[in-house]
Structure 1
Amino acid sequence: MKRLETIFVALNGWALILMLSAMTLVVGANITLRYVTAHSLPWADEAARYLMIWMTFGGAGLVLRTGGHVAITNLQDALPSMGQKLLRAGIALGLLVFFGFMVYVGIQYAQRMQYQVTPALRMPFLYVYAAMPVGFALLIAHLLLIARPFIMAGDYKRMDGATADPLPGGANG
């Protein structure tokens, strides 16, 4: 199971690297063409924007794994140990419900947009809006993989598999 998790995280990371590389190449080529030939690619801005959308949704799960999202821990710190665990379990459950709802909403929205095409690339908006349900499904997978250590100890997993403090320097609050 640990090996599958490592492969899953690595694939997620490499997908983000490929998208960032593609965005860099497209924007770089567009800038170069603009200054060398005085013409730019009409689809470059649109492609870069859609790659950024996919990177945002695709990377949210990796950020969740490391505790990189905003967190306010004042209430948790004021509770006894068992109360902290119950609060973290409630947070994890609430996140799972919310992420599941967003997958459902994202699928509906993507399906509604399947017949409209993007202005420059002329591809169905379905491919752009699919980033939302895919990203939230990735969030669900990442949350399920880190839920136990988070609930039990408030720890997050670092990218190298070790655990990290919820906040840099171990300062909570």
Structure 2
Amino acid sequence: MRILEWVCGAIEKIINFIIIVCLMMMTVVIFYQVVLRYVFNSSNIWAEEFARYAFIWVVLLGAASALRRFQHIRIDFVVNMLPERGQKLIGFINYVLIVGFLLTLIKYGIAISMKTTHQISAGLHIPMSFMYLSIPIGAALMLLFTIQIILRDYLLPSDANSPALERE
């Protein structure tokens, strides 16, 4: 379990670094586009496309990082009224449903990526499969982090590592 925790922590650090780099590049490219448009009364075709695609990658990688840190929005006022055992059961069922959803995203994300390998984007001239790969990659990372949570909090809990009912 410690190895899985270490691997997931290392992957999350890499994800966060990629997110930071993408956000900085988006900021620079969007600033460049604004200057071109309003100062020089011109524009280019790749800047908007780059910002859009970088944003898609940021969202999907960020969703994985947020899942690992329990930072997704939760509506849990009804669940909090249940006894601890009921809360734990609902949490486990929730994560099992998340696994099913993520497996579906991976399956269909790979399928759409394979179908778009020969399509080229208009502005950046890159294969569209690169953009569609963000879906299965983001879902696979979320699946890894979900499996880590299930193992740590529900299947292999220890006294020091009780189920995560009250996360930040």
Q: TM-score, normalising length from structure 2? A: 0.84
1:121 and 2:131 are equivalent in the alignment: no
Query: Percentage identity across aligned positions?
Result: 27
Where 1:145 maps in the other structure, the secondary structure is: helix
Residue 32 of structure 2 corresponds to residue 22 of structure 1? no
Q: Secondary structure at the match of 2:78?
A: helix
TM-fit CA distance, 1:150? 4.8
Amino acid at match of 1:166: R
Amino acid at match of 2:25: A
Q: 1:47 to 1:114 in 2, by over 3 A?
A: same
Q: Which residue of 2 aligns with 1:166?
A: 167
Equivalent in the alignment of 2:110? 107
Q: Which residue of structure 1 aligns with residue 66 of structure 2? A: 63
Q: CA deviation at 1:116?
A: 1.6
Residue 104 of structure 1: how far off its partner (Å): 0.5
Indicate which of 39, 44, 47 corresponds to 2:42.
39
Equivalence for 1:86 = 89
Answering whether residue 51 of structure 2 is matched by residue 48 of structure 1, we say yes
> For residue 159 of structure 1, what is the aligned residue in structure 2?
none
Q: What is the aligned partner in structure 1 of residue 10 from structure 2?
A: 7
The unaligned stretches of length 5 or more in structure 2 are: 155-161
Q: What is residue 170 of structure 1 aligned with on the other side?
A: none
What is the CA–CA distance in structure 2 between the aligned matches of 1:76 and 1:30, rounded to whole Å? 47
SS at match of 1:118: coil
Shift of 1:36: 3.7
Deviation at 1:11, TM superposition (A): 0.5
What is the TM-score of this pair, normalised by structure 1?
Answer: 0.82
Instruction: Name the count of aligned residue pairs.
Output: 158
- Structure 2 CA distance, aligned partners of 1:61 and 1:120? 28
Query: Is the 1:61–1:143 contact (alpha carbons within 8 Å) kept by the matching residues of 2?
Result: no
Report if the CA contact (8 A) 1:107-1:133 is conserved.
yes
Contact 1:106 1:130 in 2 (8 A): yes
Residue segments in structure 1 that go unaligned for 5+ positions in a row: 156-164, 168-173
